A = this chain, B = another copy of it.
């Protein structure tokens, strides 16, 4: 028995909605049967934090007892800080896999760039920890995570069972429909779809202007292998993601004749 325990994969779980969000509780539920789960997550919501790290202020962390039988820590940092702290100060080793989410709301298409959920997963991938970010297309606190839990469990199990690249990084989005309406899992590319932003201009009680970010979502990408297409057709989308942002096609072009000489 002791030997078997030792072989259990160590599963680090974080998120960007904060440690008390139902989404991270759902991810713990999905991962719990598959290994030794440790949760290290922000003590407050961090949505839209992108790949922010905390460099100007010190960080705090506290052990909390909110998941039965699961070691859990809340930190004052961002999702990316949580991954860094977990490896250096809590696990004192790299976990076998890092999971982030389940995010309350979509992280498909260009959202991968703004997403704290995906940034935490990307941080792990940079550190050679295979990682997966999960998001459900439902922003509500009371969202139904049951289908997301089912598919998260399936995908985590598959990743643990196979030898993938150590930098494996997947962006998984689950449509907000009942489980029996989901048609399966599709491997996708990131759609070129984005928000057409506008700011809602208002006046405060002192008459000074202030602005709220708002916007309409537009899909410019007509291809059928995108995450947006898959989600619109009730598939779970899986986008393999990389952290090398070099535009190699353009690099080649520019190298042919360096125009900046």
Contacts and interface: CB of A to CB of B under 8 A. Distances in A.
Contact of A55 (B47, B55, B261): B47
Interface in A171-216: 184-190, 192, 194, 197-199, 201-202, 208-213
Interface in A193-246: 194, 197-199, 201-202, 208-213, 238-246
Nearest to A244: B190
Interface of A: 45, 47-56, 58-61, 80-81, 84-85, 87-89, 110, 112-114, 119, 122, 126, 154-155, 158, 162, 165, 168-169, 184-190, 192, 194, 197-199, 201-202, 208-213, 238-248, 250-251, 254-255, 258-261
Lowest 10 CB-CB distances: which A-B pairs, in order? A50-B51, A240-B250, A50-B50, A242-B247, A240-B247, A58-B210, A185-B260, A189-B246, A50-B52, A59-B211
A58 B208 CA distance: 12
B259 A162 contact: yes
A247 B241 contact: yes
Contacts of A242: 245-247, 250
Q: Is the interface of A mostly helix, strand, loop or mixed?
A: mixed
A189 B254 CA distance: 12
Contacts of A168: 250
Given A187-B255, A245-B241, A154 B53 contact: no
Nearest to A155: B260
Nearest to A118: B245
20 contacts: A47-B56, A50-B50, A51-B119, A53-B114, A58-B210, A59-B210, A60-B209, A84-B213, A88-B199, A89-B199, A113-B119, A113-B126, A126-B194, A185-B260, A187-B258, A187-B260, A189-B251, A238-B260, A240-B246, A240-B247
A89 B254 contact: no
Nearest to A157: B260
A110 B244 CA distance: 8
Nearest to A198: B88
